[in-house]
Amino acid sequence: MKKIFVILAFLLATGSIYAQESCCSTDKDTKAGHSATPSGDALAMFASNSNDPNFVAAHAAPMPVEVVNGRGAMITLTLSDRTKSDAYFVRANKKSNKWLFVFHEWWGLNDHIKNEAEKYAEAYPDLNVLALDLY
């Protein structure tokens, strides 16, 4: 039992050390003064992936598609810092305080993501489905 406790304590300690590393910054970024912390600009660092030909090649452009069902609609949300953000909202069939948030991939809130929101709304009619536009 003591041996298991020591092993678990070791794993917890080493795991918490690695948890402090960011996937968004490299040694080069750190040395240059860039950081993915709140004081840095992680969004700009992520957006810079669009300049990397290997990254772009790994993300083929989606084929055009039309929204199926179309129960949902685009809405504009006012965020806590008073900026605006768009989202695709499919209301539940009856009044509900249950929500499902849909997060898009690299290509943003496009018709493919709207279709996924529609599919979830059809599969779970008692949920409000909100597909957020993170860009």
Listing DSSP states for 94-110 in one string gives S----EEEEE--TT-S-
CA 42 to chain centre: 13
| Pair 114, 86 in one domain | yes
| Pair 53, 84 in one domain | no
pLDDT reported for residue 18: 64
pLDDT reported for residue 21: 63
pLDDT reported for residue 37: 47
**Minimal CA–CA distance to 84: which of 38, 132, 32, 29?**
132
Q: Examine the pLDDT at 109 and tell me if it is beyond 80.
A: yes
- Written as six digits, the tokens of 1 are 């039992």
- Lowest-confidence range among 27-31, 46-50, 90-94, 118-122? 27-31
Last residue of a domain, one of 25, 57, 89: 57
| Pair 45, 9 in one domain | yes
| Pair 108, 82 in one domain | yes
Q: Examine the pLDDT at 19 and tell me if it is beyond 70.
A: no
Q: What global pTM score does this model have?
A: 0.61
| Pair 53, 90 in one domain | no
SS3 86: strand
Domain that holds residue 114: 73-132
| Pair 45, 19 in one domain | yes
Residue 67, in any domain of the structure:
no
Residue 65, in any domain of the structure:
no
- Contact (CB, 8 A) for 34 and 25: yes
Q: Tell me the chain's radius of gyration from C-alpha atoms.
A: 21
| Pair 81, 114 in one domain | yes
Distance CA 59, CA 54 (A): 9
pLDDT reported for residue 100: 97
- Written as six digits, the tokens of 101 are 């948030």
User: Mind listing the pLDDT tens digit for each residue in 20-76?
Assistant: 666 655 555 454 444 444 545 777 777 788 788 888 888 788 788 887 778 999 999
Residue 115, in any domain of the structure:
yes
